[in-house]
Amino acid sequence: MIFKAELVKGMAKTAHPYGCRKEVFNQIEYCKNAKQFNGAKKVLIIGASSGFGLATRISLAFGGTKADTIGVSFETGITNRRTGSAGWYNNIFFKEFAEKEGLIATNFIGDAFSDEIKEIVINYIKKEFGKIDLFVYSVASPRRKDPKTGKTYNSTIKATDETFYGPTIDIEKDELVMTKINSATQEEIEATQKVMGGEDWNEWCRLLLENDCIEKKAMTIAYSYIGSQRTYKIYRGGTIGTAKCHLENTALKINEEWKKNIDGKAFISVNKALVTKASAYIPTFSLYAAVLYKVMKENGVHENCIMQIQRMFSEKIYSGTTLKFDDSGRLRMDDLELREDIQNQVDDLWRKITPENFKILSDYEGYKREFMKLNGFEIDGVNYEENIDIETLKTLEQ
Residues with catalytic roles? 235
Is the CB of 253 or the CB of 259 nearer to ligand NAI?
253
Q: Are 372 and 252 in contact (CB under 8 A)?
A: no
The gap from C-alpha 17 to its chain's centroid, in whole angstroms, comes to 20
Among residue numbers 123 through 142, which ones bind ligand NAI (CB under 6 A)?
138-141
Among residue numbers 327 through 366, which ones bind ligand NAI (CB under 6 A)?
none
Mask of contacts with ligand NAI, 26-65, x by CB under 6 A? ---------------------xxxxxxx------------
Distance CA 308, CA 310 (A): 6
Of the candidates 12, 122, 209, 274, which one interacts with ligand NAI according to CB under 6 A?
A: 274
- Does 281 contact ligand NAI by CB under 6 A? no
Distance CA 32, CA 135 (A): 22
Least spacing, CB of residue 385 vs ligand NAI, in Å: 28
- 340: how many CB neighbours lie within 10 A of its CB? 7
Q: Consult the annotation and say whether 47 binds a ligand.
A: yes
Q: Consult the annotation and say whether 323 binds a ligand.
A: no
DSSP-derived letter for residue 161 is S
- Pairing status of strand 132-137 against strand 214-224: parallel
CB-nearest residue to ligand NAI: 51
Q: By CB neighbour count within 10 A (0-12 exposed, 13-18 middle, 19+ buried), where does 83 fall?
A: buried
Is the CB of 70 or the CB of 112 nearer to ligand NAI?
112
C-alpha neighbours within 13 Å on the C-beta side of residue 396: 21
Distance CA 2, CA 18 (A): 11
Is the CB of 73 or the CB of 255 nearer to ligand NAI?
73
Q: Consult the annotation and say whether 67 binds a ligand.
A: no
Distance CA 178, CA 166 (A): 5
Among residue numbers 190 through 229, which ones bind ligand NAI (CB under 6 A)?
223-225
Least spacing, CB of residue 241 vs ligand NAI, in Å: 10
- Interface segment toward ligand NAI; rule CB under 6 A; list 31-39, 111-119, 165-173, 337-345: 111-119
- Residues 89, 92, 94, 97: is their CA dihedral positive or negative? negative
Least spacing, CB of residue 345 vs ligand NAI, in Å: 19
Phi first, then psi, for residue 80 (nearest 5°) are -65, -30
Is the CB of 273 or the CB of 379 nearer to ligand NAI?
273
Name the site residues for ligand NAI (rule: CB under 6 A): 47-53, 72-75, 87, 111-113, 138-141, 223-225, 271, 273-274, 276-279
